[in-house]
Structures are given as C-alpha cells and as structure tokens.
Amino acid sequence: MTAPIARAAIYHFRHTLATPITTVMGPMTHRPALLLRLEDAEGAHGWGEIWCNFPPDGDLHRARLAARILPVALAGMTADTAAPFDEMLRRLHRLIIQAGEPGPVAQIASGADIALHDLRSRRAGQPLCAILGGTARAVPAYASGISPGKAEDQIARMRAMGYRRFKQRVGFGPDDGLPEAERSVASLDRGETMMLDANQAWDLATAQRQLDRLAPLGLIWMEEPLPADAPVADWLTLAKGAAMPLAGGENLTGAALDAAIAEGALHFVQPDICKWGGLSRTRRVARAALAAGRTYCPHFLGGGVGLVASAHLLAAVGGDGLLEVDSSENPLLSVFSGRGLALENGAFPLGDAPGLGYDPDVAGMADLLVSREEVTI
C-alpha cells in the first residue's frame, strides 16, 4: 500500500490584465490560477489545479477554503484511493449543504483528484495518460477565447503557433457579435475552421434565429447557445433544427450531464476536469460520451497544469476530440504548461515522462504569487 497524503500546498497566482476581457458574465480584470501540490509521507508528490475563474475574486475564496477543507477531504487517502473525487464529496457532503456551495467544494476536490492521479502515475513511473488507460500521444487542439474586438490579432498569433481551428465568443455587444464572427470566418486561410461560443447568452427563440443566420458559415459547432439549465427539451428542439452541431458540458454535472449525453442534446461533450469531477469522474463521463456516439472535447480555462492534465485524459480515452487552448492573455497558462502553447503538426504533444511529465515552474512566476499556504493532512 502506498503512503498516505501528508501535506498539501496551495499556490495562488494572479496576473492583472492591462485591458479587461469582455465576457457574457462581465469583464475579467485578471487571470487567476490555483495550483495544488500534494505530498505523501514518503516524499512523493503530485500536482493539480482548482478552477477559480468566476465570480470576480472567487479565487481568493477558493484559496482560503481549500486550506480549511483539504485536511478533512484527504485524511488517510493515498495515491491508490479509488474514485477520490467521489470520496471527497461524500466526506464534505454536509458542508456543501450547510454552506450552499457545491461549486467551490467540488472544484477543490477536483484539483485534489488530479494531484492524486499525478502522484500515482509518478510513483508508477508512467505518464498520466497511461494510468488513465491510454498511451502518450499528441492530441489535436484548437485556439479558444477569441474576443470579437481582438479576433484578427488573436487568430494571427495562434496561427503562428500552429493552430488551424479557432473559437470566437459571441452573445454580447452590438448584434451579439455575429458580424465580427462572420468577418473572422471570411478571413480564415484554406483548411482553417471556426466554432463559436455563446456562453449561455440566448433563449430558445433567439438561439434558433441566430443559428439560422450563422448556418452558411460551416461551423464545427455552436457552444452553449442556451443556458446549461434550460430544459433538455429546449436543447433537443434546437439540436434537431440547427444547421451545425451543438456543444456544451462545462456547466453541467451529474444526472443533467448524463441526460444531455444520453438524449442527444449535445454532439460535442465538454466537461472540465478542474471544475467538476477531476480525472476519476470525468474519465467516466468521457467514456459514456464516446459510447453514445458523441465526441469528448475537454473544456479548459485556467493555468497550464489543468491544460496538460486535460490533454492526458483526452489522449487516454481516445476519439477524435480536440483540446481547448485559451488564446487570451494569460502567462499562467503558457508557463505552467511546462512547454508553452505551440503545436507540433497541428497537435499538442505529450511526452512519456512520469505523471504530467514536468513540475510547474512556480518559482519562475514568483512575481505573480499572491499566497502560498501549506497544510498538514
């Protein structure tokens, strides 16, 4: 039996943006990252990441909450603990109810689940994707986070790094940003493709009207045209009449996500390993999506540890899904990926070194470190 977890260190980073990023949820004024390092009683370690993008200053809350609840969540656990995300939620169930905070607790448990898997694979001397059931391989990727007002520059910068698939935000601004999306599609080079993300901005009637307008663009998908909690019947109605596949899943959990997969509301299924489920639960969701004939495309918006862990899971479960790589300003993504964001032959490469394959350079980003807190488990 492997040694129990003995220590947890929570690293809280923030990069302040010179120009806020406009989103449907409001402006993003900084890019945060919460990295988690777990160490067992024998000194072996693993890294995870906790989702913390919203609401504004939500990263401050999650950093403090993680330090308080991880000793309870991880007590007695080892790298070999089965279904660690589920076990942590079971232990914290009453707290979730009392605090009314299923999201932050699940996001902390997700980060710990990822770190436990990284620790297990490092101890085994295998890449993370191997203990998830696959082999190390490069995974195809796309550039996301493209803003209507910055699209030309963002697409050019990501194109120079090898990207040929791009995702632009719509659902806000004059005419919902659709004219800018149409211009972006018209500007693409031969062989390049586009998808759009409405971030839950529309009701059913508006979504139907906007998707009819966008039909000639030949989009790979339209992401979250409806609120994630809209009735499944609305999603099915939209899916049946839309001229492009629908995508979503980052804001769905549990039975709601299972239903969206089983009933065919989504063609592209996009759970986020740092937001809900970690690697243990998301692997099951990804396999269910593939078994139902859907495409698993991991959602990700954060620092580089979560990005690389998402790439390992995509490599492990197979299929023809795409890795999401944010193109917005965020040094915490490129530096903490261990290798930058450039693609090789259109794909994000994964080596065969143990675990994630590297340790994030936290010392190199010391100027963006808000806090580092170590707790005993």
Block mean pLDDT (10 aa), the chain, length 377: 94 96 89 98 98 95 98 98 97 98 98 98 98 96 96 98 98 94 98 98 98 97 97 94 96 91 95 98 97 98 97 97 97 97 96 97 98 98
- The answer to whether the CB of 225 falls within 8 A of the CB of 247 is no
Q: What is the DSSP letter of 2?
A: P
Structure tokens at 288: 């269910």
| Structure-token match 């693609």, residue found | 343
In the prediction, which pLDDT does 24 show?
A: 85
In the prediction, which pLDDT does 23 show?
A: 87
- Break the chain into its structural domains and give their ranges: 5-127+360-376, 130-348
In the prediction, which pLDDT does 272 show?
A: 98
| Structure-token match 């675990």, residue found | 355
Domain 5-127+360-376, CATH homologous superfamily name and number: Enolase-like, N-terminal domain (3.30.390.10)
- The answer to whether the CB of 62 falls within 8 A of the CB of 50 is yes
What SS3 class is residue 33?
A: strand
Task: Read off the pTM.
Answer: 0.98
In the prediction, which pLDDT does 22 show?
A: 86
The CATH architecture assigned to 130-348 reads Alpha-Beta Barrel (3.20)
- The answer to whether the CB of 296 falls within 8 A of the CB of 71 is no
Rounded to 10 degrees, the C-alpha dihedral 285/302/20/171 comes to: -10
Q: For helices 278-291 and 102-124, give the axis angle rounded to 10 degrees.
A: 90
In the prediction, which pLDDT does 122 show?
A: 98
